[in-house]
Amino acid sequence: MLEKQELLNGLAHCIGTEGYHFNALFGRNFVYTDGIKFLLENADCYWLLDAVFSYRKTQEFQVWELEVFADKTAVLTMKEDTNCPLIVEQKIHHTSFPLDNIKLYAVNDHCCESGNYGDRVVLMLDTEY
């Protein structure tokens, strides 16, 4: 796992994606970007991917935010957009996630160019949107 500043430096370079990745648990209709892959591998937080995709709702666009507190507890929330009410709120009793917070977007992709997967959900960093 990278230290906080190293992780932030690496994430600063994540402004687009060259490929999409999938987790066999969720199949090819739930994919994530290179930036998410970097985050998962370097913050050791595959649990975050599991949480987002397991809560996946029907909204076309979702804003996911993870806020980590000083006592290493956290809260994961999801809204349909920035100024909308919360749809999901999960309290996390302990985490080693190195950042204070992170924002992710889950977007329904109806124009899949990288394969015939039909509609799919793409999870990305806010900087990759």
| Number of compact structural domains in the chain | 1
Chain length of the chain: 129
CATH number for the domain that contains residue 40: 3.10.450
pLDDT at position 110, please?
Answer: 66
pLDDT value of position 27: 77
3-class DSSP assignment, residue 129 = coil
Q: How far apart are CA 61 and CA 63, in angstroms?
A: 7
Distance CA 87, CA 60 (A): 13
pLDDT of residue 77: 97
Q: For residue range 10-54, what is the model confidence (pLDDT) as tens digits?
A: 999 999 899 999 888 887 889 999 999 999 999 999 999 999 998
* Sequence-separated (6 or more) residues with CB below 8 Å from residue 63: 78, 79, 80, 81, 82, 103, 104, 105
Structure tokens belonging to residue 86: 């919360």
Domain extent for 64: 4-128
For 92-107, the pLDDT digits (tens) are 999 999 999 999 999 9
Whether the pLDDT of residue 6 is over 60: the answer is: yes
Angle subtended by helix axes 34-42 and 46-55, to nearest 10 = 130
- pLDDT tier, 113 (very low <50, low <70, confident <90, very high otherwise): low
> CB-based burial of residue 63 (10 Å sphere; 0-12 exposed, 13-18 middle, 19+ buried)?
buried
pLDDT (0 to 100) of residue 88: 95
pLDDT, mean over the chain: 91
108 neighbors 121 (Cβ within 8 angstroms)? yes
